[in-house]
């Protein structure tokens, strides 16, 4: 892979290593108790339109001390989140998935929920992007109605002690009651501690009563962060897919992962943007034969600071521009498409790592703004390395599709990531 030892480390949100789940799919509403026979209970998820939920798993836990282990689970069949006519703060379409107890629940996508939701104190739900016993990533967790041991041993992988924007943060909601009201999340779901949830008139498959939008994404969508070490120099690069009220980025450095970090630079942001923006900074206050650790903090107009993942790089004095130096790809990455907007065709760039467990398998699929399947660009085994796929604006039948917003989704081992594309004619 590498002929000289320049270290390139790339960290991506699609691996779920960062705070706040990469898929931006969350619990948004739950009706766990009702007036007449528990026949109108339901669970609602919210996420970006075009997100493939196939294989996602919702696990129900009775958090009472005397009851351990899951009560039931619901595995989502073939389903792509539709455009339900709602936009998030970045003007991107979002939609809902509703699994209900019966067909009397309006807008239900599935009417065969495996069991009831109200079993006693501390009932809760955990969302995974796949079978948790097979490597599925934990995306969101909620609990209601009193004390619970979900954060101790049931399942014990969720916590109220971590940061509120961590995937495994357990959102402790207000108590439910035996009316036909439902537990409803606020507009901003990604770091709410549970106190933003309220009981109100049920709205399955639509915005909650108190929501004004679907603020399901971090103010800054950081899609990549890399460090390239060379001769007494580190070049840091990162990219955002969107920004909201972003004043800029603090860049912090340390000589050890757990050591004391020093802010070494502040790089101005682009305030509010829906386009991909690339940044870079060269740190020349470093020395060869050392390892350095870096992280970014984005700062918004209200002074809210959000820290992103730590990365490291080792300097050995080699030249990163030497043609003999080959980049080591460490994860699947759907880099983006260019041009964007496009007409009549665009190229999608994908990075594929070496899989130690066997050949790499990947699917790259196009959906329209309503979540309908358009075209498969690749499905099956793929060699490690950098690949480019051309989409000519045609569907699976070879017919040209109309102007509009389309989504490309990369699905691979432990990875699912989506980019937004605009076709203009």
Smallest Cα–Cα separation from 243: which of 189, 301, 204?
301
pLDDT in tens, 335-360: 888 888 888 889 998 888 776 566 77
Domain ranges of the chain: 8-16+218-314, 26-201, 333-423
pLDDT of residue 1 exceeding 50, the answer is no
The domain defined by 8-16+218-314 carries CATH number 2.60.40.10:
yes
pLDDT in tens, 198-242: 999 999 999 998 888 777 766 677 767 878 888 888 888 888 877
pLDDT in tens, 115-138: 988 866 789 999 998 998 887 889
What 8-state DSSP symbol labels residue 388? E
pLDDT in tens, 313-336: 888 665 545 443 444 566 678 888
* Burial degree of 171 (CB within 10 A; 0-12, 13-18, 19+): buried
Smallest Cα–Cα separation from 147: which of 64, 32, 271, 220?
64
What 8-state DSSP symbol labels residue 166? S
Q: What is the pLDDT of residue 370?
A: 67
Q: In angstroms, what is the C-alpha Rg of the chain?
A: 23
Tokens linked to 2? 């590498």
Q: Pick the more confident residue, 306 or 296.
A: 296
Fold equal for 8-16+218-314 and 333-423: yes
Averaged pLDDT for residues 33-62: 89
Averaged pLDDT for residues 256-284: 88
Q: What is the pLDDT of residue 21?
A: 63
pLDDT of residue 7 exceeding 50, the answer is no
CATH code of the domain occupying 333-423: 2.60.40.4070
Q: Which residue has the tokens 């890399």?
A: 226
Query: How far is residue 178 from each of residues 102, 119, 183, 268, 366, measured CA to CA in Å?
Result: 17, 13, 12, 51, 43
In percent, the amount of the chain with pLDDT more than 90 equals 33
Flag whether the pTM goes above 0.75: no
β-strand partners of 96: 46
């Amino acid at each position: 892979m590498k002929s000289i030892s320049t270290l390139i480390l790339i960290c991506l949100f699609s691996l779920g290593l960062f705070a706040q789940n990469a898929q931006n799919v969350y619990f948004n509403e739950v009706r766990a108790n009702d007036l007449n026979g528990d026949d109108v209970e339901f669970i609602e998820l919210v996420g970006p339109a075009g997100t493939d939920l196939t294989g996602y798993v919702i696990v129900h836990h009775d958090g009472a001390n005397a009851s351990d282990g899951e009560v039931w689970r619901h595995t989502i069949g073939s389903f792509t989140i539709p455009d339900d006519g709602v936009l998030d703060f970045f003007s991107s379409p979002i939609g809902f998935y509703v699994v209900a107890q019966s067909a009397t629940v309006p807008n239900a996508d599935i009417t065969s929920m495996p069991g009831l939701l109200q079993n006693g104190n501390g009932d809760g739900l955990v969302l995974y992007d796949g079978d948790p016993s097979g490597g599925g990533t934990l995306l969101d967790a909620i609990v209601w109605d009193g004390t619970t041991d979900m954060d101790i041993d049931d399942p014990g992988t969720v916590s109220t002690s971590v940061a509120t924007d961590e995937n495994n943060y357990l959102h402790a909601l207000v108590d439910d009651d035996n009316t036909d009201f439902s537990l409803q999340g606020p507009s901003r779901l990604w770091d709410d501690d549970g106190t933003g949830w309220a009981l109100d008139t049920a709205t399955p498959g639509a915005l909650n009563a108190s929501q004004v939008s679907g603020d399901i994404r971090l103010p800054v969508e950081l899609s990549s962060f890399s460090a390239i070490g060379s001769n007494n120099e580190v070049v840091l690069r990162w990219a955002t897919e969107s920004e909201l009220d972003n004043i800029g980025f603090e860049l912090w450095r340390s000589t050890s992962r757990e050591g004391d970090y020093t802010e070494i630079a502040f790089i101005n942001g682009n305030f509010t943007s829906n386009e991909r923006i690339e940044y870079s900074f060269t740190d020349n206050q470093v020395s060869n034969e050392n390892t350095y650790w870096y992280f970014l903090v984005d700062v918004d107009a209200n002074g809210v600071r959000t820290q992103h993942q730590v990365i490291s790089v080792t300097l050995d004095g080699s030249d990163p521009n030497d043609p003999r130096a080959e980049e080591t790809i460490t994860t699947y990455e759907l880099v983006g498409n260019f041009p964007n907007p496009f007409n009549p065709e665009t190229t999608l760039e994908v990075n594929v790592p070496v899989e130690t467990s066997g050949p790499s398998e990947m699917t790259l699929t196009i959906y329209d703004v309503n979540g309908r399947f358009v075209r498969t660009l690749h499905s099956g085994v793929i060699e490690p390395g950098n690949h480019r796929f051309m989409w000519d604006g045609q569907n699976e039948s070879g017919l040209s599709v109309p102007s509009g917003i389309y989504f490309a989704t990369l699905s691979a081992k432990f990875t699912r990531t989506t980019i937004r594309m605009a076709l203009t004619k």
